[in-house]
């Protein structure tokens, strides 16, 4: 029996050695060296290219990462015991990016807003890490119920200036930053800062009037430039960090063309103090003034403007906002505006970029009154890529240029500027976002807001600065500011007196 056991053992050893030899020679076809590795587990890098992503319900979010595969899996939204699976379409799903609409809830119970929702991506390889998105309210307000008043004026009258609202450290603090402008004699390098209040006014107990920055002024004189703001809710900068950008513009009031320089400065989110302006090493692809710019989901978008030949352009550019506030290389979109124009306005909402009105005429004197048009264009804007522009089925009522634009909670207000007709007759008009985008109507029909009913401020200015405040009132209503500008006279050529007045809506 002992001899028999040794024989069986010997045969097993020989068999194992033979199998090892076959495997080592590449035979058998079952070796691990020729097997296809499984796809990687999906990994979310960020949402909305933001450090602190925020979103209302029913709007799309952009999920960036890797290992999402080419075919759609599912996106899961979880808040407490509420879990909702969403399956995006193939057109918005790629291995590195997914676009999904934030659900309101599971059909029975809605998410708590404000609140936090954890987002994951699931494919055949597994489920990704979870990333939190802060849900913010989508507030409804009636522009027809607006009323207007004035707050602390600028130290001097200016036109062709630009301004942005910069969020503070909490929901009750923010700052207004004003740059450049023409003072009636020359373009300036002015930088002005003041506190923003929830009711829309500017100023505080310590900053009763606008603070004129004497040290960190613009590197050059500028007017008719573009201005944008980046923070941790719209880009990948660190939490609490704020940057403001000044792009292009007319250096001297007699210049026929602009500059391609891009400047950036930090803004202290606690005090509003402006840092030193830095000239970025990524200038605009061409020199422009009368351009417009905005930051959305980690990218800075620029469109339109006047080139060095005094001719409007249809160019559209985008650049990523880096974590240190610098910009990546500019990408020139192959999807240009359908018609060249300058002095239009632009905003992004729900992954759609809108360009409204503007002047298509060449040799436009920036401080003169001209003629705009009524066109409204829109295109997809995802991770810096701009899709094909479409002319909206609803044009604005008035042929506006050199005006201001406000957007909040799906409402859009276009106002002031130069337009044909009696002065004050078309000072403001409003539309709403059509999320379904039925019949090429990304924006619904426009309705006029009259000064006689107090819905418009009777400012009657063009080349003013305007922005939507980062703060909402204690009644959860948005606040809009109109700063400076030049009096609209209703005739061609130079307008009337320059303005230092600052308007804000005190209703609803």
Question: What proportion of the chain, given as a percentage, has pLDDT over 90?
Answer: 84
Residue 35 lies in a domain: no
Q: What CATH number corresponds to the domain at position 55?
A: 2.60.40.10
Whether residues 192 and 131 fall in one domain:
no
Q: Which domain holds residue 83?
A: 43-135
| Number of domains observed in the structure of the chain | 2
Domain at 148, CATH number: 2.120.10.80
pLDDT in tens, 237-270: 999 999 999 999 999 999 999 999 999 999 999 9
Length of the chain (residues): 508
Instruction: Tell me the pLDDT tens digit for each residue of 292-306.
Output: 999 999 999 999 999
Residue 33: band (very low, low, confident or very high) from pLDDT cuts 50, 70, 90? low
Q: Is the pLDDT of residue 470 over 90?
A: yes
* The domain boundary residue, chosen from 67, 101, 135: 135
- The verdict on 204 and 263 lying in the same domain is yes
CA distances, 438 to each of 255, 290, 394, 435, 443 (Å):
44, 32, 12, 8, 10
Give the residue from 70, 104, 135 where a domain finishes. 135
Q: Are residues 113 and 232 in the same domain?
A: no
Which of 105, 135, 165 is the last residue before a domain boundary? Answer: 135
DSSP readout, 36-92? Answer: PPPPPPPEEEEETTBSS-EE-TTSEEEEEEE---SS--EEEEEETTEEEEE---GGG
Q: Are residues 253 and 400 in the same domain?
A: yes
- Tokens matching residue 472: 């909402």
429, 398 Cβ separation under 8 angstroms: yes
**Short-list 116, 165, 120, CA closest to 136:** 116
Q: Please, which pLDDT band fits residue 493 given cuts at 50, 70 and 90?
A: confident
- Which residues have a Cβ under 8 Å from the Cβ of 461 and sit 6 or more positions away? 159, 416, 482, 484, 485, 486, 487, 488, 499
Does residue 488 sit within a domain? Answer: yes
If asked whether residues 86 and 189 sit together in one domain, one would say no
The pLDDT of residue 60 is above 80:
yes
Span 498-504, mean pLDDT?
Answer: 98
Q: Lowest-confidence range among 268-282, 333-347, 485-499?
A: 485-499
Strands of 232-272, DSSP E: 242-247, 262-266
Task: Say if residue 321 is in the same domain as residue 468.
Answer: yes
CB 344 within 8 A of CB 313: no
Is 7 domain-assigned? no
Whether residue 100 is found in the same domain as residue 208: no
pLDDT at 393 over 80: yes
Query: Is the domain of 104 the same as that of 253?
Result: no
**Do residues 129 and 166 share a domain?**
no
Same domain, 163 and 81: no
* Peptide bond before residue 114 is cis, with ω within 30 degrees of 0: yes
pLDDT of 481 higher than 90: yes
Q: Are residues 101 and 234 in the same domain?
A: no
103 and 194 assigned to the same domain? no
Beta strands at 299-303 and 316-320: parallel, antiparallel or unpaired: antiparallel
User: Do residues 397 and 443 touch, judged by C-beta distance below 8 A?
Assistant: no
Is residue 4 in a domain? no
Question: Which of 8-17, 153-162, 240-249, 432-441 is least confident?
Answer: 8-17
User: Does residue 464 lie within any of the structural domains?
Assistant: yes
């Amino acid at each position: 029996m002992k001899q028999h056991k040794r024989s069986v053992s010997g045969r097993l050893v020989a068999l194992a050695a033979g199998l090892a030899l076959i495997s080592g020679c590449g035979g058998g076809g079952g070796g691990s060296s020729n097997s296809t590795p499984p796809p990687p587990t999906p990994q979310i890098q960020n949402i909305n290219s933001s450090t602190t992503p925020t979103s209302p319900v029913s709007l799309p979010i952009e999920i960036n990462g890797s290992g999402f595969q080419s075919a759609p899996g599912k996106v899961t939204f979880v808040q407490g015991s509420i879990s909702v699976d969403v399956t995006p379409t193939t057109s918005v799903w790629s291995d590195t990016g997914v676009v999904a609409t934030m659900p309101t809830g599971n059909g029975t119970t809605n998410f708590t807003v404000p609140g936090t929702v954890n987002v994951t991506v699931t494919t055949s390889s597994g489920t990704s890490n979870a990333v939190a998105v802060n849900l913010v309210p989508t507030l409804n307000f009636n522009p027809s119920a607006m009323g207007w008043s004035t707050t602390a004026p600028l130290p001097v009258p200016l036109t062709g200036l630009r301004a942005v609202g910069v969020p503070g450290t909490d929901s009750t603090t923010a700052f207004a930053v004003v740059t450049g402008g023409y003072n009636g004699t020359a373009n300036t390098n002015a930088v002005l800062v003041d506190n923003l209040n929830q009711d829309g006014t500017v100023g505080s107990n310590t900053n009763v009037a606008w603070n004129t920055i004497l040290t960190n002024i613009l590197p050059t004189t500028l007017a008719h430039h573009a201005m944008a703001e980046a923070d941790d809710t719209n880009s990948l900068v660190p939490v609490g960090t704020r940057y403001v950008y000044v792009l292009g513009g007319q250096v001297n009031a007699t210049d026929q063309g602009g500059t391609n320089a891009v400047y950036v400065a930090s803004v202290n989110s606690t005090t509003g103090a402006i840092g030193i302006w830095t000239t970025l090493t990524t200038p605009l692809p061409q020199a422009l003034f009368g351009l417009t710019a905005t930051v959305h989901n980690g990218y800075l978008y620029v469109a339109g403007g006047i080139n060095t030949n005094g001719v409007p352009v249809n160019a559209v550019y985008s650049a990523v906002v880096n974590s240190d506030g610098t910009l990546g290389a500019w990408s020139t979109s192959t999807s240009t505006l359908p018609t060249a124009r300058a002095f239009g306005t632009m905003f992004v909402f729900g992954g759609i970029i809108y360009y409204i009105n503007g002047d298509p005429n060449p040799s436009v004197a920036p401080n003169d009154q001209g003629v705009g048009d009524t066109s409204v264009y829109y295109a997809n804007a995802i991770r810096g890529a701009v899709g094909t522009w479409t002319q909206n089925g609803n044009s604005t009522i008035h042929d506006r240029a050199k005006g201001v634009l406000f957007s909040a909670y799906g409402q859009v207000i276009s106002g002031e500027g130069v337009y044909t007709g009696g002065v004050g007759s078309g000072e403001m008009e409003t539309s709403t976002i059509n999320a379904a985008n039925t019949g090429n109507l990304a924006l619904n029909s426009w309705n006029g807001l009259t000064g006689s009913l107090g819905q418009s401020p009777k400012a009657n200015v063009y080349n003013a600065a305007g922005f939507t405040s980062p703060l909402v009132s204690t009644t959860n209503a948005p606040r809009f500011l109109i700063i400076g500008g030049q009096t609209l006279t209703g005739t061609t050529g130079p307008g009337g007196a320059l303005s230092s007045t600052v308007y804000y809506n005190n209703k609803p």
